[in-house]
Chains A and B, each alone.
Chain A
Amino acid sequence: MNLRAIKAIYLFEMSRTMRTLAQSLISPVVSTILYFVVFGSAIGSRIQEIDGVGYGTFIVPGLIMLTVLTQSMSNASFGIYFPRFIGTIYEVLSAPISHLEVIVGYVGAAATKSTILGLIILITAGFFVDLQIAHPFYMFLFLILTSVTFSLFGFIIGIWADNFEKLQIIPLLVITPLTFLGGSFYSVSMLPPFWQTVTLFNPILYLVSGFRWSFFENADVSVGVSLSMIALFLMICVLIVWWIFKTGYRLKD
């Protein structure tokens, strides 16, 4: 195990985050505040409680998930795409480092950043609404699992993309809609029965539902199902990455 190489990549990526600290932190925090002002206060004041939770409070887990998902993906995809784009990837490829170690370095750094961001938004939210976390352990578990899974997914996008547009297209066209339609801002039980069924095919639903359960102990689907779905998605990402390195897809040709 080349631990020094993992550390080198991890610290390299973290220092990139530190250099862009302001833009990394400020924009998610500002947009979260905007959500609270618009949804929480302006609209939320006219919405009755959902499952016994005030609307402003209800949307907190969804908001955190929204940021963690998008940040994990954009961070990890950029982290691996940029060295490919400027050519410095040669160094990583020529180093005595296994595929697993490369992934731990890049994905670990991206996941760390989005976990920190998730916590910052949680703290920010604490200034606007009264928050109680019923299961802190599970909250962290969901947060970290989601960060890791979607950083891994971002890593795959970063390898697949061969231009900057492709880097943006999946987060923009697929993930953001799925997040909005995955019950971030409402309970699925508020939907007509047909759309409730459709929503069950949205993987994001399981993340938001499980994460929300860790706060308020109410969920659209059971916690076990949520965790299984994340584990499943994580496994799929691991398999794709394994295939990428095995074949050298977009890296060694």
Chain B
Amino acid sequence: MTSIINVSNLSKTYEGGFQALKSVNLEIKDGEIFALLGPNGAGKTTLISIICGLVNASEGSVTVGGFDIIRDYRQTRALIGLVPQELTTEAFETVRQNVSFTRGLFGKPKNPDLIEKILRDLSLWDKKDERIMNLSGGMKRRLLIAKALSHEPQILFLDEPTAGVDVELRKDMWNVVRDLQTSGVTIILTTHYIEEAEEMADRVGIITGGEIVLVEGKEALMNKLGSKQLTLDLLTPLEKIPESLIAHDLRLDNGGTNLVYTYDSKSDRTGITSLLNDLSANGVKFTDLKTNQSSLEDIFVDLVKQSS
């Protein structure tokens, strides 16, 4: 796949001295759904804001569809639809007026049929003549998505789209996102819900403290997810793993009182039986055992901890 967005050495230091981005490099592929994960204040919104033209970068460059975001801003911005994190809407305009306004702002000719389709897809058609201030929070979220889609963007940024959104809307939204991907739209979403990334994304990037610490295909991450740990509470602590047990993927934890075995739960042979046999043959006794699975959440938390 060819890349549609290229971020190189992008840094941003705000006026107060806060460094939101530290030399970020990122490539987004054409047609993919990319999930950008990170805790609050990690730099997700700053990164998106720079690509969309809301914030000036301090250093580095970004190209969108091969165009530079500063020099060729007309081309790059025409390609991008942005759904902001905050529910920033007008108050007195009606839904349909406001969506058409966005289309005009992006230089596209009027297209009432398209606007109708977008509003229907987002279950907003009934509210088309309603003033925005009378809409519920969820409806406003839908409106922001409708506005972003009104000018038929090739790339859609969804900044925390499901924050404070009910289950039904979340489902609706994912359907819209899937349809968009089918029609060739590249989607970049930021979230701190890991399930969301697991559910939707082709690739996942993790950002923390203004740095991208990991970019990986979801499959690769899921494989990491497949690994499980068997933890044995030992009767008598060990100082080191006995020679005869080296062949197993073992490590000592908790001052030698725990023995941790990592294995692939998806493979046919997990090696647990042979490990237990070898343990009893070596006279290693244990009082309890438990298994646990490393989730994307664990990987995420580990990475965030490591880099902070």
Chain B residues touching A, range: 20 to 34
B171: chain A residues at CB < 8 Å are none
Q: Are B53 and A93 in contact (CB under 8 A)?
A: yes
Q: Are B107 and A4 in contact (CB under 8 A)?
A: yes
Within 8 A of A (CB), among B68-115: 73-78, 80, 82, 84, 86, 88-93, 97, 101-102, 104-109
Residue B44 interfacial (CB < 8 Å): no
Q: Which of these binds chain B: A6-14, A37-45, A125-133, A174-182? A: A6-14
Given contacts A86-B88, A87-B86, contact A96 B106 (CB under 8 A): yes
Residue A2 interfacial (CB < 8 Å): yes
Q: Are A252 and B56 in contact (CB under 8 A)?
A: yes
Q: Are B107 and A94 in contact (CB under 8 A)?
A: no
A3: chain B residues at CB < 8 Å are 107
Residue B55 interfacial (CB < 8 Å): yes
B102: chain A residues at CB < 8 Å are 91
Residue B54 interfacial (CB < 8 Å): yes
Compute how far the CA of A96 lies from the CA of B74 in the bound complex, rounded to whole angstroms.
4
CB distance from B142 to the nearest CB of A (A): 16
A4: chain B residues at CB < 8 Å are 104-105, 107-109
Within 8 A of B (CB), among A86-127: 86-88, 90-98
Residue A224 interfacial (CB < 8 Å): no
Q: Are B54 and A12 in contact (CB under 8 A)?
A: no
Compute how far the CA of A102 lies from the CA of B130 in the bound complex, rounded to whole angstroms.
27
Residue B147 interfacial (CB < 8 Å): yes
Q: Which of the listed residues A12, A87, A96 has the most CB atoms from chain B within 10 Å of its own CB?
A: A96
Q: Are A7 and B74 in contact (CB under 8 A)?
A: no
Q: Are B104 and A7 in contact (CB under 8 A)?
A: yes
B106 contacts which of A95, A98, A252 (Cβ < 8 Å)?
A95
Q: Are A5 and B89 in contact (CB under 8 A)?
A: no
A5: chain B residues at CB < 8 Å are 104-107
Residue B15 interfacial (CB < 8 Å): yes
A91: chain B residues at CB < 8 Å are 102, 105, 147
Q: Are A94 and B77 in contact (CB under 8 A)?
A: yes
Q: Are B82 and A94 in contact (CB under 8 A)?
A: yes
Q: Are A253 and B56 in contact (CB under 8 A)?
A: yes
Q: Are B105 and A97 in contact (CB under 8 A)?
A: yes
Given contacts A4-B104, A4-B107, A4-B108, contact A90 B78 (CB under 8 A): no
Instruction: Write the residues of chain B forming the contact surface with A, with a CB cutoff of 8 angstroms.
Output: 14-15, 52-56, 73-78, 80, 82, 84, 86, 88-93, 97, 101-102, 104-109, 147
A-B CB contact pairs (8 Å), 28 listed: A2-B74, A2-B107, A3-B107, A4-B104, A5-B104, A5-B105, A5-B107, A8-B101, A12-B93, A15-B93, A15-B97, A86-B88, A86-B89, A88-B88, A88-B90, A90-B84, A91-B105, A94-B53, A94-B82, A96-B78, A96-B106, A98-B74, A248-B56, A252-B53, A252-B54, A252-B55, A252-B56, A253-B55
The 4 closest A-B pairs by CB, nearest first: A8-B104, A87-B88, A96-B77, A96-B74
